[in-house]
Chains A and B, each alone.
Chain A
Amino acid sequence: MTIETAATQGKKDLATNGSALKGNYREYGLVLALILIMLFFQYTTSGVLFKPVNLTNLVLQNSYIIIMALGMLLVIVAGHIDLSVGSVSGFIGGLAAVMMVRWQIHYIPATILCLIMGGAIGAAQGYWIAYHKIPSFIVTLAGMLVFRGLALWLLGGQSVGPFPPQFQLLSSGFIPDFFGYPGFNVTSMLVGIILVVLMIYFSVRGRAKREKHGYQGEPFTLFVAKNLIIAGIVLFLTYLLSSYKGLPNVLIVMSLLIALFVFVTKRMTVGRRIYAMGGNEKAAKLSGIKTERLTFLTFVNMGVLAALAGLIFAARLNTATPKAGLGFELDVIAAVFIGGASAMGGVGQVMGAVIGAFIMGVMNNGMSIMGVNIDWQQVIKGLVLLAAVIFDVYNKNKA
């Protein structure tokens, strides 16, 4: 009897471990792919990739893609797509320039108005998709044309700038250094260390809580190794960034948003309902989920994030151009799919989309430094996207 119980207990733990590994297996693989790609370019660019100034650039260049990928992940998990985000971000960048430069509105109310406008655009598109069941592909394709046109009209076909210096800090600023140690931003390093400590604290606490309730998580060694590796990477990157100008403001904004969206998707009822809806809308509806409203809100959220991305991009260029945001939607959607989301809906992780965006970003950056022509860059990026999705589908069929 005792033997039997022990045996079944062992089996149960094994099963939980197995599934814990299996569940995260894709995310680990993705991180590994990113690291390999980074090491590859570090080698082929003779060490330029990891230079602090380049690393800082990498963050600045990709922040707006990542921010939009957060919203796009929810849209795609909900079973939809948004093709309009590039045009919307361009339009909002133009709107910001007109308000701040031409009309001389203070940058804070102007920023808030732009974000509200983004939400309103998302709502306008989401309304047709959610309540009238017009396919999102079509509604947002129309939106893509409409807002590209409106951006052109708004700016009169010209570039408008420069922005007020405080607004530029959104993209080009770094968190202030209170220590004044030459050549090293101590505040940034401290922020990095505090972050790592918090991360480990929550991780250990979560594990202790699971064990208190009698559920075994991943094996202890794996747990320790995982935390050490992540802590090491974060500290190393923080160190590199600190030895240049410190942590960019936009990295802070981005990190907070990533943390928020991970929390929403993993821990909040709203997030869970979006996954349920994407997995089987009819079943979700019959379980009492207000699927229409949820779809609508997903697009409102996307609109706000597209607006924020547009503001960051405009602040970075310090001018709004009618062409801003052209083709962004493709990078954003590619990032989400490389990150493992399913085009059928219901599947996808925030961290996957973020890593997917970084994979695209590092490839852009690395190939540019190597001097690969823009034409071949496109070809290679396309093939990587295809390979990532084929890999996913293959694995799913094998399982």
Chain B
Amino acid sequence: METILEMRNITKVFPGVKALNNVNLDVRKGEIHALVGENGAGKSTLMKVLSGVYPHGSYEGEIVYNGQEQHFRGISDSEKQGIIIIHQELALVPLLSIAENIFLGNEPAKFGIIDWHVAENRTRELLAKVGLKEDPLTLITNLGVGKQQLVEIAKALSKDVELLILDEPTASLNENDSDALLALLLEFKAQGISSILISHKLNEVGKVADRITVLRDGATIETLDKQDISEDRIVTSMVGRQLADRFPQREPDIGEVVFEVKNWVVHHHIHSERTVINGINLNVRKGEVVGIAGLMGAGRTEFAMSVFGKAYGRNISGEVFIKGEPVDVSTIGKAIDHGIAYVTEDRKTYGLNLIDHIKHNTTIANLDGVSHSGVIDDMAELKVANEYRRKTNIRSSSIYQKTGNLSGGNQQKVVLSKWLFANPDLLILDEPTRGIDVGAKYEIYTIINQLVSEGKSVLMISSEMPELLGVCDRIYVMNQGRLVGEMPASEASQEKIMRAIIRAEGKAS
């Protein structure tokens, strides 16, 4: 098979850090080439070099594409050659329509006047190709994340793509949407389009990739062919050591009920006539890790946030009990005072002050813990920040590193540090390992285990079922704002959980 892209000996140095060190990557025409590695291994940097975000001259090495050496000076250069990158954070304008987004900067126009008729018709064709049944005039903000992802791909198709780069395309998709997306990649492959797929989900990679290149610490470790691909093999290669067990062992020591929610009802924050959470009853015991499984949009985040000081929703009713006593959790401050903490699924938007450093982010939810009558004790704060940096194993130059410059896994550890320092009795974790690498995941599971062994309780929302099965003691299944199943982890399985969801879906429709 002929080679479409060859990146030779790419070295990229940032002040003080060698992000890429003699990296080689070759992609064949019409193949799906997966790029895997821990966070900070250099995957995104490599793709930025390829797409011209880091222009020619700012790196060493050469890029040969379609047999010619390329000197991309910006994204528009690489796009002209048919290299399209779709970033993890989608770059769509929420208040514009699908058609407007697809042709943004590339509008079919004569003398600057846009021909919307052509744009809409072409959008319709493109949407058909990616299998999205939506009107071209629908606003992006009205689409779910999965559909937005498809719009991004349709946009790439509109530019005559030859090499499609997808950076963690399925990170925020549920299983169905992920499968649809992967099927689409296979279809593109049949049409001769090559793809580079960056993903942490190794099972997906194994399903669709023809070859896999593993990066570690800015260097190419190896490129594996399809027949050599196995999850264990990839993991070993990624972390450079054998990861005997994906989930650390724990001896459960479960006590009495510490947290209980009764008849919890929440309405949509804008359309207040819509019920988002419909009569939920659940409890968590001391020293217990309880999981909530469900599809995207099941209402799990909405439930957690509404319990956490009404951070979401309207017309909330129901009762919260802590150690059997009814408590008032009507504001976030009160919820924290009653020993509840909520670790968000979206650490960049809701979790961190990205322009500030680790120290300030660690103490912000519990400033009283490092201050006397409103005056912060510098030394106490320094001690706390260093202590939690060590406890959660945050990799950074010091506690004075800006959280915006940390990798996803380390950012997540800063958010965890913040809430651990708030010393809650119940820690609600919302997708605690989303978009972070295998090694960091293991560390976060270890922190969870440590926490419950100290007698705290954890309520964990996750869309990765193996994770729920591996970490939790008991699992609730949520669907469309209701609990549709509850099972001890020892009796649970992916099939059982899915069956509970599907049964509920059947009832609902």
For A276, the chain B residues whose CB sits under 8 A away are 353, 356, 360, 364
Q: Mark B339-358, 1 if CB is under 8 A from A, else 0.
A: 00010100001111111100
Among residues of A, the one whose C-beta sits closest to the C-beta of B365 is A287
Q: Mark B358-371, 1 if CB is under 8 A from A, else 0.
A: 00100011011001
Q: Determine the interface band of chain B, counting residues with CB < 8 A from chain A.
A: 35 or more
Q: How distant is the Cα of A268 from the Cα of B373 in the complex, in angstroms?
A: 9
For A269, the chain B residues whose CB sits under 8 A away are 367-368, 371, 374-376
Q: How distant is the Cα of A146 from the Cα of B473 in the complex, in angstroms?
A: 63
Q: Mark A343-374, 1 if CB is under 8 A from B, else 0.
A: 00011000000000000000000000000000
The answer to the question of B137 belonging to the interface, with a C-beta cut-off of 8 Å to chain A, is no
Q: Determine the interface band of chain A, counting residues with CB < 8 A from chain B.
A: 20 to 34
Judge whether B371 and A209 touch: CB under 8 Å.
Answer: no
The answer to the question of B270 belonging to the interface, with a C-beta cut-off of 8 Å to chain A, is no
Answer whether A286 and B379 are a contact pair too, CB < 8 Å, given A16-B398, A270-B374: no
The answer to the question of A46 belonging to the interface, with a C-beta cut-off of 8 Å to chain B, is no
Least CB distance from A215 to B in Å reads 6
Judge whether A210 and B376 touch: CB under 8 Å.
Answer: no
Judge whether B382 and A215 touch: CB under 8 Å.
Answer: yes
Q: How distant is the Cα of A279 from the Cα of B355 in the complex, in angstroms?
A: 6
Q: How distant is the Cα of A284 from the Cα of B353 in the complex, in angstroms?
A: 8
Answer whether A285 and B398 are a contact pair too, CB < 8 Å, given A270-B374, A276-B360, A280-B352: no
Judge whether A280 and B333 touch: CB under 8 Å.
Answer: no
Least CB distance from B332 to A in Å reads 5
Judge whether A268 and B376 touch: CB under 8 Å.
Answer: yes
For B378, the chain A residues whose CB sits under 8 A away are 209-210, 267
Q: How distant is the Cα of A311 from the Cα of B382 in the complex, in angstroms?
A: 42
Least CB distance from B351 to A in Å reads 6
Q: Tell me the residues in window 251-289 of chain A with beta carbons closer than 8 Å to chain B beta carbons.
A: 267-270, 272-273, 275-276, 279-280, 282-289
Judge whether B364 and A289 touch: CB under 8 Å.
Answer: yes
Q: Tell me the residues in window 320-347 of chain B with beta carbons closer than 8 Å to chain A beta carbons.
A: 331-333, 335-336, 342, 344
Judge whether B336 and A346 touch: CB under 8 Å.
Answer: no
Judge whether A286 and B342 touch: CB under 8 Å.
Answer: yes
Answer whether A15 and B398 are a contact pair too, CB < 8 Å, given A213-B379, A288-B336: yes
Q: How distant is the Cα of A15 from the Cα of B364 in the complex, in angstroms?
A: 24
Judge whether A287 and B355 touch: CB under 8 Å.
Answer: no
The answer to the question of A182 belonging to the interface, with a C-beta cut-off of 8 Å to chain B, is no
Q: How distant is the Cα of A213 from the Cα of B375 in the complex, in angstroms?
A: 19
Q: How distant is the Cα of A267 from the Cα of B379 in the complex, in angstroms?
A: 11
The answer to the question of B509 belonging to the interface, with a C-beta cut-off of 8 Å to chain A, is no
For B354, the chain A residues whose CB sits under 8 A away are 279-280
The answer to the question of A203 belonging to the interface, with a C-beta cut-off of 8 Å to chain B, is no
Judge whether A286 and B352 touch: CB under 8 Å.
Answer: no
For A268, the chain B residues whose CB sits under 8 A away are 371, 374-376
Q: How distant is the Cα of A59 from the Cα of B382 in the complex, in angstroms?
A: 38
Most buried by B among A215, A269, A342: A269
Judge whether B353 and A280 touch: CB under 8 Å.
Answer: yes
Least CB distance from A102 to B in Å reads 41
Q: Which of these, A282, A287, A289, contacts B349 with CB under 8 Å?
A: A282
Q: Mark A214-249, 1 if CB is under 8 A from B, else 0.
A: 010000000000000000000000000000000000
Q: Which of these, A267, A273, A289, contacts B375 with CB under 8 Å?
A: A267
For A342, the chain B residues whose CB sits under 8 A away are 355
The answer to the question of B383 belonging to the interface, with a C-beta cut-off of 8 Å to chain A, is yes
The answer to the question of A290 belonging to the interface, with a C-beta cut-off of 8 Å to chain B, is yes
Judge whether A12 and B398 touch: CB under 8 Å.
Answer: yes
Judge whether A279 and B349 touch: CB under 8 Å.
Answer: no
For B383, the chain A residues whose CB sits under 8 A away are 213
Most buried by A among B15, B382, B383, B400: B400
For B311, the chain A residues whose CB sits under 8 A away are 285-286
Most buried by A among B309, B344, B350, B368: B350
Q: How distant is the Cα of A267 from the Cα of B380 in the complex, in angstroms?
A: 12
Q: How distant is the Cα of A288 from the Cα of B418 in the complex, in angstroms?
A: 12
The answer to the question of A183 belonging to the interface, with a C-beta cut-off of 8 Å to chain B, is no
Judge whether B350 and A286 touch: CB under 8 Å.
Answer: yes
The answer to the question of B397 belonging to the interface, with a C-beta cut-off of 8 Å to chain A, is yes
For B382, the chain A residues whose CB sits under 8 A away are 213, 215
Answer whether A210 and B364 are a contact pair too, CB < 8 Å, given A16-B398, A269-B371, A288-B332: no
Answer whether A290 and B400 are a contact pair too, CB < 8 Å, given A267-B376, A276-B353, A347-B355: no
Among residues of B, the one whose C-beta sits closest to the C-beta of A285 is B332
Least CB distance from B304 to A in Å reads 11
Q: How distant is the Cα of A347 from the Cα of B353 in the complex, in angstroms?
A: 11
Q: How distant is the Cα of A58 from the Cα of B268 in the complex, in angstroms?
A: 58
Least CB distance from A204 to B in Å reads 15
For A19, the chain B residues whose CB sits under 8 A away are 397-398, 400
Q: How distant is the Cα of A37 from the Cα of B342 in the complex, in angstroms?
A: 51
Among residues of B, the one whose C-beta sits closest to the C-beta of A264 is B374
Q: Which of these, A15, A215, A275, A282, contacts B360 with CB under 8 Å?
A: A275
Among residues of B, the one whose C-beta sits closest to the C-beta of A11 is B397
Q: How distant is the Cα of A347 from the Cα of B332 in the complex, in angstroms?
A: 25
Least CB distance from B110 to A in Å reads 37
For A283, the chain B residues whose CB sits under 8 A away are 349-353
Answer whether A273 and B379 are a contact pair too, CB < 8 Å, given A279-B355, A279-B356, A286-B332: no
Q: How distant is the Cα of A279 from the Cα of B344 in the complex, in angstroms?
A: 17
For B333, the chain A residues whose CB sits under 8 A away are 288, 290
For B371, the chain A residues whose CB sits under 8 A away are 268-269
Least CB distance from B125 to A in Å reads 39
Judge whether A209 and B379 touch: CB under 8 Å.
Answer: yes
Least CB distance from B44 to A in Å reads 18
Q: How distant is the Cα of A10 from the Cα of B351 in the complex, in angstroms?
A: 33
Most buried by B among A23, A285, A287, A347: A287
Q: Mark A100-140, 1 if CB is under 8 A from B, else 0.
A: 00000000000000000000000000000000000000000
Least CB distance from A289 to B in Å reads 7
Judge whether A288 and B352 touch: CB under 8 Å.
Answer: no
Judge whether B355 and A346 touch: CB under 8 Å.
Answer: yes
Judge whether B376 and A287 touch: CB under 8 Å.
Answer: no
Q: How distant is the Cα of A15 from the Cα of B398 in the complex, in angstroms?
A: 7
Q: How distant is the Cα of A287 from the Cα of B355 in the complex, in angstroms?
A: 16
Among residues of B, the one whose C-beta sits closest to the C-beta of A396 is B355
Least CB distance from B465 to A in Å reads 27
For B364, the chain A residues whose CB sits under 8 A away are 272-273, 276, 284, 287, 289
Among residues of A, the one whose C-beta sits closest to the C-beta of B332 is A288
Q: How distant is the Cα of A345 from the Cα of B78 in the complex, in angstroms?
A: 35
For A267, the chain B residues whose CB sits under 8 A away are 375-376, 378
Least CB distance from B316 to A in Å reads 16
Least CB distance from B398 to A in Å reads 5
For B352, the chain A residues whose CB sits under 8 A away are 280, 283
Least CB distance from B449 to A in Å reads 25
Judge whether A272 and B360 touch: CB under 8 Å.
Answer: yes
Q: Which of these, B15, B360, B374, B400, contacts A23 with CB under 8 Å?
A: B400
For B335, the chain A residues whose CB sits under 8 A away are 288
Q: How distant is the Cα of A81 from the Cα of B311 in the complex, in angstroms?
A: 27
Q: How distant is the Cα of A23 from the Cα of B398 in the complex, in angstroms?
A: 13
Q: How distant is the Cα of A267 from the Cα of B342 in the complex, in angstroms?
A: 27
Among residues of B, the one whose C-beta sits closest to the C-beta of A289 is B364
Least CB distance from A17 to B in Å reads 10
Q: Mark B296-319, 1 if CB is under 8 A from A, else 0.
A: 000000000000110100000000
For B331, the chain A residues whose CB sits under 8 A away are 290
Least CB distance from B342 to A in Å reads 7
Q: Mark A190-215, 1 if CB is under 8 A from B, else 0.
A: 00000000000000000001100101
Given contacts A267-B375, A272-B364, 4 further A-B contacts (CB under 8 A): A269-B375, A270-B374, A272-B367, A288-B333
24 contacts between A and B (CB under 8 A): A19-B398, A210-B379, A215-B382, A269-B367, A269-B368, A269-B374, A272-B376, A273-B367, A276-B353, A276-B356, A279-B356, A282-B350, A283-B353, A286-B311, A286-B332, A286-B344, A286-B350, A286-B351, A287-B364, A288-B332, A288-B365, A290-B331, A290-B333, A347-B355
